[in-house]
Amino acid sequence: MRLDRLCLHDFRNYECQRLELQDGVNLLIGPNAQGKTNVLEAIFLLTGSRSWRAGRKSELIRFGTPGALIEAGLTSRGRDFEVRLSIPLSGRGAVTVNGVKANRQSRLSDVFRCVLFAPEDLSLLRDGAAARRRFLDTALCQLRPRYAELAAEYQKLIDHKTRLLRDEERRSAMMAVLPDFDARIVAVGTAVIRYRAQFVSLLAPVCQDIYRDISGGRETLSMRYATVSTIENPLGPQKEMENAFFRHLETHREAELRLGQCLSGPHKDDLVMEIDGRPCRAFASQGQTRSAALAMKFAEREMFFRDCGEYPVLLLDDVLSELDSARQSYVVEHTPGGQAIITCCEDTGRFSPSGRRLRVENGRIL
């Protein structure tokens, strides 16, 4: 999988910028606040996922302009694709693949996949469960378009139910529709849990091998998907899981009404990580936390490769400077085999001299 060409129009601080990329390593070098991460963000949007850092789509549009446009030329599974993604200030955006209008999420993840590693990922294990759920969701939305649809529907149901739970005035009317809501939440939520648990069961051994390499064979990293407590086996029969989830919802109904919150479901789940049997969140050192985050990202990359036989494009946003030399070496040695687009303030010279070097200056790429 390769991004050959990228054109940005009124995207973030770019007015009109064309950029050619090569196979292997591409370095975007420049001082702070020039537009390096903005380029990675535009590339990331081509996967069909939402930006990891923009709260609203209007943030993506250059100040004072009516909309942004991202155009890209890609090579995927030996074929060329032209992708066009428009982000208007008002109304819905449009996506075309080779000139044909596409359903954003499913069609794009079919042709283009990325793994992004940014400084905020270095605390993937230290942060709350939401960060790890986001990690799972970002990977799964690219791997399984059906998952993206389910996850979006689940989120809508939870948002809607939360509004109902908080609407004191219409409480009696709400009580009448609550069972229907819960039935749908259970059906969609169970499917979400199964996708995530299956993914984790495949990811865990890959991540363990990578972590063992990074730690010089001294430590063992394990991961487990933790879900609704009444579900004993998240890989078990669907019906059994649905019944268990429903039981959990029933026992929490009163508390949900009291607190005005949805307390039960995969939006509360976690990916529990342990090193040598001890929970990372409580016991991992800084170095162990970084190694585990690195292992998770490289395991995600490996999973994509296993799924489609091609490495996804690796986006490294300023992480090298945050890693010590042993971990930097790991990244440098494991990047070949695919395309990598790497931002840095200074050229450390660690990446191959054959890597393409592009200078970023105030919304321009030279």
Which positions touch ligand ATP (CB under 6 A)? 12-13, 30, 32-38, 59, 61-63, 318, 345, 360
> What is the side-by-side order of every strand in the sheet holding 221-226?
221-226, 270-275, 278-279
Other residues' Cβ atoms within 10 Å of the Cβ of residue 176: 8
Selection from 35, 32, 51, 200 nearest residue 114 by Cα: 51
Backbone φ/ψ region at 129: left (φ over 0), alpha (ψ -120 to 50), beta = alpha
Which residues does residue 74 pair with via DSSP β-bridges, in sequence order? 3, 81
Select from Mg ion, ligand ATP, none the partner in contact with residue 32, using the beta carbon and a kind-dependent cut-off of 5 to 8 Å.
ligand ATP
Smallest gap from Cβ 31 to ligand ATP, in A, equals: 7
Q: Which stretch binds Mg ion (CB under 5 A): 32-40, 118-126, 186-194, 279-287?
A: 32-40
Cβ distance to ligand ATP smaller for residue 61 or 83: 61
- Smallest distance, Mg ion to C-beta of residue 29, A: 12
User: Rounded to the nearest whole angstrom, what is the least distance from the CB of residue 65 to ligand ATP in the complex?
Assistant: 8
Stretch in the footprint of Mg ion (CB under 5 A) among 4-12, 31-39, 89-97, 262-270: 31-39
Query: Least separation, in Å, of the C-beta of 64 and ligand ATP?
Result: 8
Beta carbon nearer to ligand ATP, 118 or 164? 118
DSSP state for residue 311 in the 8-state scheme: P
Instruction: Report the residue number whose CB is nearest to Mg ion.
Output: 37
Token code pair at residue 328: 């930097």
Sign of the CA dihedral running 166, 169, 173, 175: positive
- Residue 124 CB, nearest distance to Mg ion (Å)? 18
Shortest Å, Cβ 11 to ligand ATP: 8
Applying CB under 5 A, which part among 33-41, 90-98, 161-169, 192-200 lies near Mg ion?
33-41
Nearest distance in Å: CB 46, ligand ATP = 16
Sign, Cα dihedral of 209, 215, 219, 225: negative
Q: For residue 130, give both structure tokens.
A: 């939401």
Residue 89 vs 175, nearer CB to ligand ATP: 89
Nearer to ligand ATP, 23 or 322 (CB): 322
Q: Which residue lies nearer to ligand ATP by CB, 82 or 347? A: 347
Compare residues 1 and 116 and give the one whose CB is closer to ligand ATP: 116
Comparing CB distances to ligand ATP, the nearer of 14 and 211 is: 14
Least distance CB 36 / ligand ATP (angstroms): 3
Q: Kindly list the distances between the CA atom of residue 348 and the CA atoms of 26, 60, 241, 325, in Å, as whole numbers in the listed order.
A: 13, 30, 51, 11
**Which of 17, 26, 37, 105 forms a contact with Mg ion (CB under 5 A)?**
37
- Is residue 138 part of the contact set for Mg ion (CB under 5 A)? no
Between 3 and 249, whose beta carbon lies closer to ligand ATP? 3
Contacts 24+ apart (CB under 8 A), 350-353: 350/320, 351/25, 351/27, 352/24, 352/25
d(CA 341, CA 201): 29
Q: Extract the tokens encoding 366.
A: 């030279």
DSSP state of 231: -
- Residue 112: which of 353, 314, 312 has the closest Cα? 312
- Interface residue list for Mg ion (CB under 5 A): 37
